[in-house]
Chains A and B, each alone.
Chain A
Amino acid sequence: MTDVTDSSGLGILPLRADLEPQALIEVKGGGLALIDGDGDGDLDLFLPRCGGSTSDLSQASGGRYLENLGGLQFRDATATSGLSFSHWSFGSAVGDVNGDGLDDLFVCAHGPNMLFLQKPEGGFMDASDSAGLAATSAWSSAASFGDLDGDGDLDLYVANYVKFDFDSLPKPMLFRGAEVFGGPMGLVAEPDEIYFNQGDGTFIPATAHFASPKPAYGLGVVIADFDANGTQEVFVGNDSGPNFFFQRKGAAPSQGDSASPSQETSAGGSTGTEVHSADEQAALFFTDCGLTSGLAFDQNGLGQATMGITLGDVNRDGLPDLFTTNFMGDRNTLHLNLGDLLFDDATRRWGLGQLSVPYLGWATTFLDLDCDGTEELLVFNGHVYGDLICREQGWKHRQAPLLFGQEGNRFAQIRATEAGQWVLTQGVDRGAVRGDLDGDGDLDLICRSLSGSLRVLRNDALPGRSVLIKLSQPNSKNPSGIGSRIALLGGPEPQHRWITSSGTYQSANAQHAQFGTGPSRGPFHIEVTWPDGTSEKFPNIMPGMNFVLVRGSGQ
């Protein structure tokens, strides 16, 4: 990887000064989103702003939209993008909510959240009110789209954090002897929000269909089919408490309706949507199996901070394993997916524990940087407390990322001698996104700091050693196949990727899957498991090429 920030046009001034934070809200954001916002086929960048007036949380300068000009060059196109808003904003999720073939953008804010629909001519229009998503005023951290109710369109889960107001700041607290700003402990948690898409990009509240445990400090959410049964589960990372893991169980007991939603799926080649009656829709019920699954806590039953979330298949069994990042003094956590919605905290055995203890982790992602067929694991770090306090206490305010390579059933740190100098760059990092930004088939990265400054990392892997896959479901309400699993088969070992609308930390990665193929000439074949659980095979996948796999065109 090479740091090309200076030449990218993204070496812009930070969105706010890197001051000593005085309040919790100043340290929790934010993310990034990759979205093709102008229909030119490349990935543009959205940068939420989580800073601004501390006297009025509705006053900030909004986000920035940075147009990809090709060759890893960007320009600020905020003014003409239609992404106009003023609230402090944190996370974002990308998905085509109205099935028009154009990705839309959901932005989590302190105050009303925002949905921006992409216009056919490029740019966005604010549809928050008409879509039914602007009704609440909670502090939302992160969101994820996924087909929760199995009707084929993209529903929405919004993870909310705490009730926060600059006019009534919590009292400072002591952390390891240092007086620091208060929270989240002691603050009132905001309940999460869930919305079902009505098929046209308008939403109705669906929180009542979730057997909601006690509200918690939500920081991250990812939706995927964790048990490969054709329904989507929801993992919610909660700060300083048990995480949620929602599983679709069928009829809600409180409804007195024993009918389960249809599990039928249509034959391959169609868009595979289920149609529920109004009664069925009302009966859908998700229950939290965080505790029994092993995802609520770490191995020892302790709640963690759970900032960053990423999915990968570290043991090559086709099920998504889950890695989360945590606070300084705690370990990051690898939850191995054992199947049947059971997970095993295998952090120590996989060599990922002790090295992470001095770091405060945020964005994390699995990605095959060197295109050898095995994903590396990357964690961006940075403290929440200001530089002055950190110096006094012997903590590092600015922290370098951690990069791990997989060797059998464990990970080992990859150092600068092998990875390059970029792993030595210390920052107060938060969100990050991965995607092929320069069209060469490998995955590049953009990381943002707390202040909003960006770091652009170009992947210089050998050409011709990867396959890039995009999915297409024509005439579907989920055209890019969010919630699908993609397997590359025919190599030494199977590789699996999951298409999600959110990840790393409060961010939205590119919705394509990259597979390293090493020096092999192929051919490989791809097996796509669509969000409804049906599978389709696509042969003759050659390295060094990009593919758009259209549902119904495979075998």
Chain B
Amino acid sequence: MRLARFVLLLLTFLAGLCFYFAQGDGSKPAPPDPIIALIATARAELINHAPFPPSSRAPLTAARIHLQAGRPERARALILPELVGEWSAEAHYLLGILESRAQLWQRTLDALTLALTPGAAYPEKPIAPFRLARALEETGRIPAARLAYQLDHDLSGDGEALFRLGLLDIEAGHFPKAKANLENALGRFTQPQARSRTLAALSDISLASNDLSQARDLLEQAAVLHQHPELLHRLAQLCRRMGDTEAAARYAAEAGE
């Protein structure tokens, strides 16, 4: 049994390495991030896994309620004693949520790494890779973040991971891939805000090819969906660049400049 587990881990580690090198982020070669093996292991465990059962640990169930109600310190008080013992992975997941809300990304990463302990079962485990990806991205571990987003997408089919991958693709200069990911995300989003920020990201790709008209069109579509000062500022800048001073002034005023 131990041998089989070892072989499984070895294979997933190697698969992770292959996947990592196949992805590429446009940067020059870096030593493999050790967390990549963890993501590969999580992939092997979570893909095609049946839904996990509801939590059976009362303090952690209560911690979730406090988290949802915006009472982080009360949640933390319930989570901390659970960080060792049978429910430690679940407790670490909830701790990771707490830390990510405070934007303490290294602490988020530390917690979520333990939350993905193989074999641990709690209802949110399938969405832990997305939260792990955010922490990896914010701590600058981009290749590993890409893998975690990809895993989240494969698990959930959700647009959010595609959106984040699209942004990373823009950073990496992979504009066709970025466009495909963002358009795919756009097709999955129904909320106006999510669609708006995706259109704004697509406009960045248009700017890369110096297609100012298309960039403006996308930003204007985005602004119709969700009129946010950041979007209006970008529109004002773009209109100045295009020489449309009247529109630039209008958007600038709307942005509160």
A interface residues, Cβ below 8 angstroms from B: 176-177, 291-292, 294, 297, 299-302, 329, 338, 342, 344, 346, 348-349, 351, 353-359, 393-395, 405, 408-410, 412-415, 417-418
The interface residues of chain A lying within 8 Å CB-to-CB of B204 are 348-349
Chain A residues with Cβ below 8 Å from B233 are 297, 300-301
List the one stretch of B24-32, B34-42, B52-60, B81-89 in contact with chain A: B24-32
Residues of A with C-beta under 8 A to B28: 405, 412-415, 418
11 pairs, CB–CB < 8 Å, chain A vs chain B: A176-B104, A291-B257, A300-B233, A349-B207, A354-B137, A357-B138, A358-B139, A358-B140, A414-B28, A415-B28, A415-B29
Q: Are B29 and A417 in contact (CB under 8 A)?
A: yes
Residues of chain B contacted by A413 (CB below 8 angstroms):
27-28, 30
Distance (Å) between the CB of B177 and the closest chain A CB? Answer: 14
Q: A357 vs B137: C-alpha distance in the bound complex, in angstroms?
A: 9
Residues of B within 8 A of A349 (CB): 170, 173, 204, 207-208
Determine the residue in chain A with the shortest Cβ distance to B256: A301
The contact of B107 among A302, A353, A393, A412, by CB within 8 Å, is A393
Stretch at the interface among B15-23, B152-160, B183-191, B234-242: B234-242
Residues of A within 8 A of B237 (CB): 294, 299, 344
Q: Is B182 an interface residue (CB 8 A)?
A: no
- The reply to whether A351 and B105 form a contact with Cβ atoms under 8 Å apart is no
Asked whether, in the complex, the Cβ of A412 is within 8 Å of the Cβ of B104, the reply is no
Closest B residue to A345 using CB positions: B237
A300/B234 in contact, CB under 8 A = yes
Q: Do A301 and B230 touch across chains, with their CB atoms under 8 A apart?
A: yes
Q: Is the CB of B171 within 8 A of A177?
A: no
Instruction: For the complex formed, measure the closest distance between the CB of A33 and the CB atoms of chain B, giving whole angstroms.
Output: 32
Tell me, yes or no, whether B213 is within 8 Å of chain A by CB.
no
> Is B97's CB within 8 Å of the partner chain A?
no
Instruction: Give the distance to chain B from A394, nearest Cβ to Cβ, in Å.
Output: 3
Scoring A344, A346, A348, A355 by chain B CB atoms within 10 A of each residue's CB, the highest score goes to A348
Chain A residues closer than 8 Å to B29, beta-carbon distance: 415, 417
CA distance A338 to B242 in the complex (A): 11
If A177-B104, A342-B241, A358-B105 touch, whether A348 touches B27 (CB-CB below 8 Å) is no
CA distance A409 to B171 in the complex (A): 11
Known interface pairs A291-B257, A412-B27. Does A394 touch B106 (Cβ–Cβ under 8 Å)? yes
A347 to chain B: closest residue by CB: B171
How far is it, in angstroms, between the C-alpha of A329 and the C-alpha of B142 when the chains are bound?
15
The reply to whether A348 and B167 contact each other, CB–CB distance below 8 Å, is yes
**B198 vs chain A, min Cβ distance (A):** 14
Closest B residue to A350 by beta carbon equals B173
Query: How many CB-defined contacts (below 8 Å) exist between A and B?
Result: 96
Task: Tell whether, in the assembled complex, residue B106 and residue A348 are in contact, meaning their CB atoms are under 8 Å apart.
Answer: no
Query: Quick check: A355 and B241 within 8 Å, CB to CB?
Result: no
B8 within 8 A of A: no
Docked CA distance A348–B166 (Å): 11
| Inter-chain contacts of B107 with A (CB < 8 A) | 393-394
Considering the complex, give the chain B residue whose CB is closest to the CB of A293. Answer: B240
* Interface contact B26-A344, CB-CB below 8 Å: no
| Contact (Cβ within 8 A) B229 A301 | yes
Q: On chain B, which size bracket covers the interface?
A: 35 or more
Enumerate chain B residues within 8 angstroms of A354, measured Cβ to Cβ: 137, 140, 142, 167-168, 171
Does B255 have its Cβ within 8 Å of any Cβ on chain A?
Answer: yes
Cα A177 to Cα B138 in complex, Å, equals: 17
Contact of B171 among A302, A329, A348, A395 (CB under 8 A): A348
In the bound complex, how far is the Cα of B219 from the Cα of A406, in angstroms?
29
Contact residues in A for B170 (Cβ distance below 8 Å): 348-349
B252 on interface, CB distance cutoff 8 Å: yes
B residues near A294, Cβ cutoff 8 Å: 237, 240
Minimal Cβ-Cβ distance residue in B for A353: B171
Min distance, Cβ B192 to any Cβ of chain A, angstroms: 18
Q: Let me know if B27 and A176 touch, CB within 8 A.
A: no
Query: Given contacts A348-B167, A348-B171, are A358 and B104 in contact (CB under 8 A)?
Result: no
Task: Say what secondary structure dominates the interface of chain B.
Answer: helix
Task: Compute how far the CA of A342 lies from the CA of B212 in the bound complex, rounded to whole angstroms.
Answer: 14
Specify which chain B residues have a CB less than 8 angstroms from the CB of A357 in the assembled complex.
Answer: 137-138, 140
Which residues of chain B come closer than 8 Å to A393, judged between CB atoms?
A: 104, 106-107
By the criterion CB–CB under 8 Å, are B103 and A176 in contact? yes
B105/A410 in contact, CB under 8 A:
no
B123 to chain A, nearest CB (A): 26
Whether B230 pairs with A300 at a CB distance below 8 angstroms is: yes
B255 CB contacts on chain A under 8 angstroms: 301
Which residues of the partner chain A approach B99 to less than 8 Å between Cβ atoms? 394
Let me know if A291 and B105 touch, CB within 8 A: no
A405 to B26, CA, bound (A): 12
Q: Tell whether A415 pairs with B30 under 8 Å between CB atoms, given A349-B208, A357-B140.
A: yes
Interchain nearest-CB distance for B130 vs A (Å): 16
- Pair A342/B240 contact, Cβ less than 8 Å: yes
Q: Nearest chain B CB to A156's CB is how many angstroms away?
A: 30
Contacts of A177 in B (CB 8 A): 102, 104
- Asked if residues A394 and B110 are in contact (CB atoms below 8 Å), the reply is yes
Contact A344 B208 (CB under 8 A): no
Q: Are B241 and A351 in contact (CB under 8 A)?
A: no
B143-174 CB contact bits vs A (8 Å, 1 = yes)? 00000000000000000000000011011110
A51 vs chain B, min Cβ distance (A): 29
What is the distance, in angstroms, from A321's C-beta to the closest C-beta of chain B?
A: 15
Tell me whether B138 and A410 are in contact (CB under 8 A): no
Shortest B194–chain A CB gap in Å is 17
In whole angstroms, how far apart are the Cα atoms of A299 and B232 in the complex?
Answer: 11
Q: Which residue of A lies closest to B200 (CB)?
A: A300
**What A residues does B207 contact at CB under 8 A?**
344, 346, 349
Hey, which chain A residues are within 8 Å of B257, CB to CB? 291, 301
A291 proximity list for chain B (CB < 8 A)? 252, 257
Chain B hits for A359, CB < 8 A: 140
Cα-based distance from A394 to B137 in the complex (angstroms) = 15
Instruction: Return chain B residues, CB-CB under 8 Å to A301.
Output: 229-230, 232-234, 255, 257
A522 to B229 alpha-carbon distance, docked (Å): 52
Report Cα–Cα, A417/B110, bound state, in Å: 27
Residue of B nearest to A296 (CB): B257
A413–B28 alpha-carbon span in the complex (Å): 6
Closest-by-CB residue of A relative to B102 is A177
* Alpha-carbon distance A418/B31, docked complex (angstroms): 12
Q: Mark B219-235, 1 if CB is under 8 A from A, else 0.
A: 00000000001101110
B138's nearest neighbour on chain A, judged by CB, is A357
Q: Closest B residue to A351 by CB, please name it.
A: B171
Chain B residues near A300: list those with CB within 8 A. 230, 233-234
| B26 and A355 contact, CB distance less than 8 A | no
Q: Which 8 A-B pairs have the closest CB atoms?
A: A301-B233, A394-B106, A300-B230, A394-B107, A410-B173, A358-B140, A412-B27, A177-B102
> Across the interface, which residues of A come within 8 angstroms of B30, CB to CB?
413, 415
The interface residues of chain B lying within 8 Å CB-to-CB of A348 are 167, 170-171, 204
A356 to B232, CA, bound (A): 26
Distance A415 CA – B140 CA, assembled complex (angstroms): 14
A342 to B167, alpha carbons, bound, how many Å? 25
- What distance in Å separates the Cβ of B236 from its nearest Cβ neighbour in chain A? 8
Contact indicator B103/A351 (Cβ below 8 Å): no
Identify A355's interface contact among B102, B142, B173, CB under 8 A: B142
Q: How far is the CA of A175 from the CA of B58 in the complex (A)?
A: 32
- How far is the CB of A343 from the nearest CB of chain B, in Å? 9
Rounded to whole angstroms, the CA-CA distance of A357 and B138 in the bound complex is 6
